[in-house]
Amino acid sequence: VFFEGNVTTIRMVKLALMQVFLCNHIVKVMSYVAFNPLSLPRMRKPLKPRQSILDVEAVAEPMRQTHASQLNQEFKWRKQNLQKIKRMINDNRQEICDALRQDLGKEPVEAWSTEAGPVSDEIDFVLKRLHAWMKPNKVSTPIHSAIGFSQTRKVPLLEPGVLVVGPSNYPILLTLGPAVGSIAAGNPTLIKPSEISSATAKLLHDLVSRYMDPSVLQVVQGGADETTQLLQQSWGKVCFTGSTHVGRLVAEATAQTLTPSILELGGKAPLYVDNAIYNLDIVADRLIFGKTLNTGQTCVAIDYVLIHKDVADKLLDLMVKAVEKQFGGGPESELGRMVQVSNAQRQVQMLQEVEQCNQTQILCGGSQECRPEERYIAPTIVLNPPLESRLMKEEIFGPVMAVRIVASREEAKQFIQNKMPKNPLALYIFTSSDECYEDFVRSIPAGCVCRNDAVVQFGNNQLPVGGIGTSGWGHHRGKYSFDSFSHERNEFHRSLLTDMGRLRYHPFHKAKIKATVVQFSIKHLIDIPVLHLRSRWWLWSAVLGGILGSSIFKRDLLNGIASVLERTAFLLRGL
């Protein structure tokens, strides 16, 4: 808002703006607003304050009460609430599919199998194993800490709990999915769904309010302002899924409160098709599936494809046929929709840019077949787009596949390493050669690697989901969610039966035996493999007997024991 005037009128304008924006908000200059300042005093009805201001403390208070009650440390609390989430999903299957249809144009089978279905499966997977995960893990204790017992225990994170900031492309899977792992680990959880998937966000808010207690799971709707407010609060952990740009902002915000975070970002996921490959018709179908799942709006979707020249012509023909088989009906096919009109317009702009290049070929689809106002983007295969084009510089995040032909494996590897953004979230390799696969895996850092298929690794509960470098950090899914949303606390219990002859206490210079044994402990015991009390009881007994004897027997006997220990150390070091 731009305004000029005297001091009195400026104060009045400022008051009016405060009523609209409630102070401390950055107002973007959208247009020049002209009005008669003399009309301001005659305003009788006060301007309504924004309804998006969030009371973070009120939201966090029931979560803190859960921590205070310590109920979240019990298996029963976690099991009952996970069962409630599953019942919430299964009872409202049709409503969930309808909301996903409205937001993303998803066909019902795809909607269930890529969103709510995996969450239900995740709950079953977790419930079968949760009791075992919660048990303390007993570990061995070194000799110098005898008699002692060591263990680690997974405990909930700090209050108020875990904040899950979800994306617009998988508004159910990537909000409730992390929440399942968080609650399994004993954390009250707050979900902030993307406001872009508005129908699903509203449904999620209504269902969680109906099925879940706010001390366990809550959903807060809103946009960037609400997310900013939530990130100003200290959390046990923040789990964010989204773009690299926003991920940097989230990382900066969480750093201010020293809140740990899980960032699942994106990047340009490469796929290489080697000449040592067979069944190219299956390869073509899998490539199209990996690119068009969820209309290409998947963080681990194939971004660009490098094809060895020996198989390029045949494979490209099969890929075009695969597009026709799977989505030949145009807008009437089962292909979903972009989540926003602006996202569809971006896809069209990238296509129009490369369509003007002489070296580029549009093998199928193209900007003319897209309907951005309807959020429909035709599945498109672009051959040899220029490296300086947006299609090769930006994450595509749509059903547009960029393809380039390479002369060798080494050229493909060098292309990924030197000409494309580094640290992709996923790396795909189609080859029957183990040597080729190992060469790529060792040379190219990536969050995950999939051989001879694409995207399907995301559906395995036994595998972690997470990036590396600019594609994110941290993991979630299955056991990895439980571990990520837990604090692994070490616990040590020491017996008061003996104090090892007070060997660790000062002064050390008064007794030669004391100095000898301490020197033995420092130099040699740390090199001995950690011994478990049950499996090496005889060795424990011998050592403890020698230590206890230091406070009972005569000095000459003690010197003899020290000499024996000194010699024994060299033998034990060879274990």
Report how far residue 367's alpha carbon sits from residue 395's, in angstroms, rounded to the nearest whole number.
18
Rounded CA-CA distance 518/531 in Å is: 19
Half-sphere exposure of 346 (CA within 13 A, CB side): 14
Q: Tokens for 420, please give them.
A: 């494309």
Q: Taking a C-beta distance cutoff of 8 angstroms, is the pair 106, 336 a contact?
A: yes
Peptide bond into 147 cis (omega under 30): yes
Greatest distance between any 2 Cα atoms in the chain: 105
Name the pLDDT band for 143 (thresholds 50, 70, 90).
confident
pLDDT tens figures, 412-449: 999 999 999 889 999 999 999 999 999 999 999 999 99
Annotated catalytic residue: which of 110, 115, 159, 264?
264
Q: Which amino acid is at 483?
A: D
pLDDT of the residue at 267: 87
- Domain boundaries along the sequence of the chain: 7-42, 56-265, 270-460, 500-572
Query: Percent of the chain beyond pLDDT 90?
Result: 73
Q: Residue 427, SS3?
A: strand
| H helix and E strand count, the chain | 20, 16
How confident is residue 505, by pLDDT bands cut at 50, 70 and 90? Answer: confident
DSSP tag of 503: T
Kind of pairing between the strands at 137-139 and 148-156 = antiparallel
3 state SS of 489: strand
Residue 510's pLDDT is 59
Please state, rounded to an integer, the average pLDDT across all residues of the chain: 85
Spatial separation of the C-alpha atoms in residues 208 and 191, rounded to whole Å: 10
Question: What pLDDT score was predicted for residue 87?
Answer: 97
Q: Look up tokens 């792992």; give the residue.
A: 181
User: Quick check: 297 and 100 in contact, CB under 8 A?
Assistant: no
Q: Report pTM.
A: 0.81
Extract long-range pairs of 492-498: CB within 8 Å, 24+ residues apart.
492/141, 492/145, 492/148, 492/149, 492/150, 493/148, 493/149, 493/150, 494/145, 494/147, 494/148, 495/147, 495/148, 497/147, 498/147, 498/544, 498/547, 498/548
Q: What is the dihedral of CA 79, 85, 91, 96, to 10 degrees?
A: -160
Q: For domain 270-460, is the CATH number 3.40.309.10? A: yes
**Torsion region of 557: left, alpha or beta (phi above 0 gives left; psi -120 to 50 gives alpha):** alpha
pLDDT digits (tens, 9 = 90+) for 337-395: 999 999 999 999 999 999 999 999 999 999 999 999 999 999 999 999 999 999 999 99
Residues 6+ positions from 375 with CB-CB distance below 8 Å:
105, 337, 338, 339, 340, 341, 343, 344
Q: Does residue 264 carry a catalytic annotation?
A: yes
Which residues contact residue 508 at a Cβ distance below 8 angstroms, ignoring those fewer than 6 apart? 514, 515, 518
Q: What is the DSSP letter of 44?
A: -
For residue 531, what are its two tokens?
């011994």
Residue 327: pLDDT band (50, 70, 90) is: very high
Phi and psi, residue 429, nearest 5°:
-135, 125
Residue 262 has pLDDT above 50, yes or no: yes
Spatial strand order of the sheet with 400-406 comes to: 361-364, 380-383, 400-406, 304-308, 270-273, 426-430, 448-451
Tell me: the pLDDT tens digits for 78-93? 999 999 999 999 999 9
pLDDT at 336 over 60: yes
Identity at 212, one-letter amino acid code: M
Q: Write out the H or E segment, with its range, that includes residue 473.
A: strand 472-473
Strand order in the sheet with 148-156: 137-139, 148-156, 486-494
CA-to-CA distance for 484 and 189, rounded, in angstroms? 14
pLDDT for residue 141 is more than 80: yes
For domain 56-265, the CATH class is: alpha beta
φ, ψ (nearest 5 deg) of residue 293: -55, 130
